Amino acid sequence: MHVLVFANEKGGTGKSTTAVHAAIALAFKGARVACFDLDHRQRTMGRYLDNRRETIRRTGRDLPMPVYETHDGESMDYFSSTLERLGENADFLVIDTPGRDDKFARISVTNADTLVTPMNDSFVDFDLIGQVDPETFRVSRPSFYSEMIWESRKRRAKADGESIDWVVLRNRMQHIEARNMKRVSEAIDQLSKRVGFRVISGLSERVIYRELFPQGLTMLDAGEFGAMGLSHVAARQELREMMSGLALPEVALPLFA
């Protein structure tokens, strides 16, 4: 089983949106996907999947559907037993975490095979992982959060010799504001060499990512849209590119399901 964790201590960076889209994209490929929402207050991932389940019930359509649970945010026993249960029949376990420091998020990060930190093209978001010089915009030093991930990686290597593939995912990319985007982009590239993460493109800024929530759908559920507009086709393509950027292991599918 491959553990995919979406984490960033800052809220509103796109953790839940990208986590749900990644989980559904994996399910579309035929993988067995389990989701664990650790953000019991917002419960965005859990609510998204509630909505999806309801759409399946209402329309009778056979859409790929991950199994999912939401943590209560308190109990270590519940956390461990849910992880175990979800892991039993899954090729991928997708964990969404709250946008704040959280004990269970830290444990999840240390156990991640792939750790995804979504970030908007903004120095406000970048500040969590690195600080820049106010005049040159060059990276002056990694921030607290990068150091924490660094420690988690060391702990993981010691525990089972495995490594965590840390991926910074640029979310809500826009094609305006070119100067800021270029500066942020340069700072991310510099920092990636220093603290060892990969940088990939995520989803760009599109209303469709907000609109699909009430039905729990994604652009992959093409049948639900009727004729797809050009922007949906482009959105589907960028989701595919995001998935290939994550470079997750391929799942061997049974010949006769």
Binding site for Mg ion (CB under 5 A): 15-16, 44
Task: Give me the 89-108 binding string for ligand ADP, x by CB under 6 A, dash otherwise.
Answer: ----------x---------
Query: Looking at beta carbons only, is 20 or 91 nearer to ligand ADP?
Result: 20
Listed ranges 10-18, 51-59, 67-75, 121-129: which one lies at the site for ligand ADP (CB under 6 A): 10-18
Q: Does 206 bind ligand ADP (CB under 6 A)?
A: yes
Which span (8-16, 63-71, 102-110, 219-227) binds ligand ADP, by CB under 6 A?
8-16
Nearer to Mg ion, 15 or 170 (CB): 15
Residues 161-200 close enough to bind ligand ADP by CB under 6 A: 171-172
14 is an interface residue for ligand ADP by CB under 6 A: yes
CA 233 to chain centre: 21
Least Å distance, CB 33 to Mg ion, is 18
